[in-house]
Amino acid sequence: MVKKNIMASMDIGTSNIRVIVGEINQDKTINIIGVGTSPSKGLRKGAIVDLDKTVQSIMEAVEEAERMINMEINSVFLGIVGTHITIINNCGVVAVSGEDKEITYEDVERVIQASRVIAMPPDREIIDIIPRQFIVDGYDGIRDPVGMVGVRLEVDAMIITGAITSIRNLMRCVNRSGLEIDGVVLNSLANAEVSLTDDQKELGVALIDIGGGTTEIAVFQQGGLRDVSVLPVGGDYITNDIAVGLRTTIEQAENLKVNHGKALVSMVDSEEEIEIKNVGGKGNKNVNEELLSSIIEPRVQEMFYLAREELEKMGYLKFLPAGIVLTGGVSLMKGVAELAEEVLESSVQVAQPEYIGVKSPIYSTGVGIIHYVQVSHMVPTSKKETRLVMPKFFERIKNWLLDIFD
C-alpha cells in the first residue's frame, strides 16, 4: 500500500495480529491513523501451525483497521520474527565509475549488490542488506559516501538471511488474505526504531521483546544490529503456570495475570481477595495477589535466566553499557524491569515508545515497521522480490517521494 502518503504494517505475533496504518507527513513525521488487532489463533511460539486460522485472524485485524481509516488496505509491510535468521558480514568492492570519480547513488547500489554475493544454502534467502560502513580509498567509517571523490569504493555490509519455508508460509497467509506484500522487515530492527535511542544503539544495548510465545533478543552496538536470537518462551508460559497452579481456566488465568499479576512477590501490597471460578465451573474460590505473584515470579525469573544465558552465548552480556530495554506485552507487568535487573545484573528499563496515536510497547513492532521503512526510505524492488531496496541509493527515490508528497 505504498500509495500517496499512507502505508500499512502487519505484525503476526503468537498472541495477537496487529495491523497499523501510518500516514507520513510533509515533515516526515508519522501519524498512526489506523490500528487493527485480532487474537492470533494459528501460531505457536512465533511459527504458523494453522494456515486457515491465521488467514482468518489476519482478515479480522485488517477489517478492523479498514473500518478505522475508512479505506481499503491492499498491501502491507510484514514483520519477520528472528527465529531462523542469520546475520552474515560480507564486503563488496567496486571501482568508482564516473570520469570525475565522484561517487553516485549507482556506485553505492553496485557495491551493495557486490556484497550480496555470498555462498548460501538453497533453503535460505536474503531479507535485508544493511551497510555498516563504506570505505573510500582506504578511509573507513563513512556512513554516506555519495558526492565524495574516490577510486575504490568498499562496503562492509550486514546481510540478513532467513529460512525460506518459514518466511514463505507467513507470506502465503498474508497473500491468501487478499493482501500484497510491500516488503519484509526484521521485527527486531523495526522494534528498535521506536524503542531505542541512537545513543543506546551506539554504546551497546540489548532489546528484549517478550511476547506471548517468544522472547526476541537483539543486540545493538556502534549504531547497528549485531546479533539476534529468539527463545521459545513468553507470556503464555506464565498464564499456563497460573492455570495449573490455581486449577482454573486459561482465560481466567490470563485475566488474573494481566489485571493483578506482579513479577515480584515483594511488590505486592494488597491483601485483596480475588474470586475465581474453579475449572469445570464447580464453585468459586479466592486467591490473593501474593499467591498469584508467587506463581509468576519463578517463571519470569527463569525467562530472564534463559535470556542471560543467551546474551552470554552471544558474547555481549558484559558489553552492554546502555543496559537492557524491555518491550512486548509481558514488559507491561509490574515488577518485570526490577526482576530483570536482579537476574541480568544490568540496568533495565521498559521501552516507552513515543508516537502519536498509539502509546504502548505492544504496538512497537507494528509502528516500528512503518518507521523503519520510512527512515531507510525503502520501497519494494518488484512484486516478486521480498527484499527491499534502499532507494536513497537510487535517483528514483526522488520520484517516489514526489509521488508521496504531491
- Binding residues vs Mg ion (CB under 5 A): 13, 211
Q: Should residue 368 be labelled a site residue for ligand ATP when binding is judged by CB under 6 A? A: no
Strands 30-39 and 152-163: unpaired
Q: If contact means CB under 5 to 8 A according to the sort of partner, which of ligand ATP, Mg ion, none does residue 213 touch?
A: ligand ATP
Please identify, among the stretches 99-107, 131-139, 322-330, 385-393, the one whose residues bind ligand ATP according to the rule CB under 6 A.
322-330
| Angle made by CA atoms 142, 77, 40, in degrees to the nearest 5 | 130
Residues 6 or more apart whose CB falls under 8 angstroms from that of 132 comprise 89, 156, 157, 158, 222, 224
Q: Binding string, 27-46, against ligand ATP, x = CB under 6 A?
A: -------------x-----x
Please identify, among the stretches 112-120, 133-141, 175-183, 325-333, the one whose residues bind ligand ATP according to the rule CB under 6 A.
325-333
Calpha distance 100→346 (Å, rounded): 52
Beta carbon of residue 135, minimum distance to Mg ion (angstroms, whole number): 36
* Binding test (CB under 6 A) with ligand ATP, winner from 157, 225, 330, 369: 330
Q: Should residue 329 be labelled a site residue for ligand ATP when binding is judged by CB under 6 A? A: yes
CA 46 to chain centre: 12
Q: Should residue 23 be labelled a site residue for ligand ATP when binding is judged by CB under 6 A? A: no
Q: Should residue 214 be labelled a site residue for ligand ATP when binding is judged by CB under 6 A? A: yes
Calpha distance 198→33 (Å, rounded): 26
Q: Tell me how many residues contact ligand ATP (CB under 6 A).
A: 24
CA 207 to chain centre: 10
Calpha distance 215→15 (Å, rounded): 12
Strands 284-288 and 224-231: unpaired
* Binding test (CB under 6 A) with ligand ATP, winner from 130, 136, 164, 332: 332
Beta carbon of residue 178, minimum distance to Mg ion (angstroms, whole number): 23
Q: Should residue 51 be labelled a site residue for ligand ATP when binding is judged by CB under 6 A? A: no
Closer by beta carbon to ligand ATP, 64 or else 102: 64
**Helices 250-260, 289-314: inter-axial angle, 10-degree rounding:** 80
The three cell numbers of residue 122 are 538453497
Q: Binding string, 252-291, against ligand ATP, x = CB under 6 A?
A: --x--xx--x------------------------------
Calpha distance 114→154 (Å, rounded): 9
Whether 148 contacts 101, CB under 8 Å: no
Residue 61 has φ and ψ, to the nearest 5°, of: -65, -40
Considering just the CA atoms, what is the radius of gyration of the chain in Å?
23
Q: If contact means CB under 5 to 8 A according to the sort of partner, which of Mg ion, ligand ATP, none does residue 362 touch?
A: ligand ATP
Closer by beta carbon to ligand ATP, 366 or else 380: 366
Q: What letter does residue 383 receive in the DSSP assignment?
A: T
* Binding test (CB under 6 A) with ligand ATP, winner from 234, 335, 353, 391: 234
Calpha distance 277→274 (Å, rounded): 10
Binding site for ligand ATP (CB under 6 A): 13-16, 40, 46, 211-214, 234-236, 239, 254, 257-258, 261, 328-330, 332-333, 362
